[in-house]
Amino acid sequence: MTERTALRRLTVAVLAGALSLGCSSSGDDDAAGAGGTGAVAGMGTGGSAAGSTANGGSGALAGGGGTGNGGTAGAGMGNGNTGGVGTGKTGVCGQRGESTVSATAFEGWEEFYLLGDKGFGAEVCIVRIDVTRVGEAPAGCTDCAWSHLVEFSNPTVITDTDGACANSDLGFDTARMDALDGSRAGYGYVFEYMGHNDVLMKNEPGSETWTPFGNAVWNEATDEFHFDSRDGSCKY
């Protein structure tokens, strides 16, 4: 065997090995690609079985959340939505109100609301209620400029996009609407709470404590009062 022939055979062997490795790598890439498909699809509708085998996890296979990288949202159960319904989206919930308030009167309205798209989108749920003074507030709000016992009534759905009011962490189904109608709470107002913002204080029925409920503004000259309390992120 000549030196040139030996070199040629060595070259052929090296090339064959490289081709063999290339085929194996291609198979791994196909599996990874299928897994990627499962992972992406799992975020929407649960992904494919091929995706779940590679990287979609059981969540992608079942489409119901599970443990895989592929399916927190699954088939629309909603990113751990506490009500077990919804679209799997995250928004911001809160409560706000406008009233006319004096030392002896409280009359106005409040709204529970849900801002879509992590709080940067449109309002997808608004439920409005009337608020009226019905008596003396519970004792204990020693720093309050005024305090009242108020009653909530006439809950009304103003905005409800794709059933977000009931199918969200707000949970405004018929039962909650009925429970809200006629419920009561203690309300009070403190200037510069803890040396900071003015706040609305709230006393829940049966409680002996008053707690800050939201940033608020009260005009002593006109009796105009409004507040906004953000509860943070919620699912819908």
pLDDT of residue 32: 34
pLDDT of residue 85: 56
**What is the distance between the alpha carbons of residues 186 and 208, in angstroms, rounded to a whole number?**
11
* Percent of the chain whose pLDDT exceeds 90: 60
Distances (CA, A) of 148 to 1, 30, 103, 138: 107, 68, 8, 8
Q: What is the pLDDT of residues 117-149, one digit of tens each?
A: 999 999 999 999 999 999 999 999 999 999 999
**What is the distance between the alpha carbons of residues 211 and 232, in angstroms, rounded to a whole number?**
17
Q: Which of 217, 234, 235, 236 is nearest to 226 (CA)?
A: 217
Q: What is the pLDDT of residues 49-107, one digit of tens each?
A: 333 333 333 333 233 333 333 333 333 323 333 444 567 899 999 999 999 999 999 99
pLDDT of residue 135: 97
pLDDT of residue 90: 96
93 and 169 in contact (C-beta within 8 Å)?
yes
Global confidence as pTM: 0.63
122 and 116 in contact (C-beta within 8 Å)?
yes
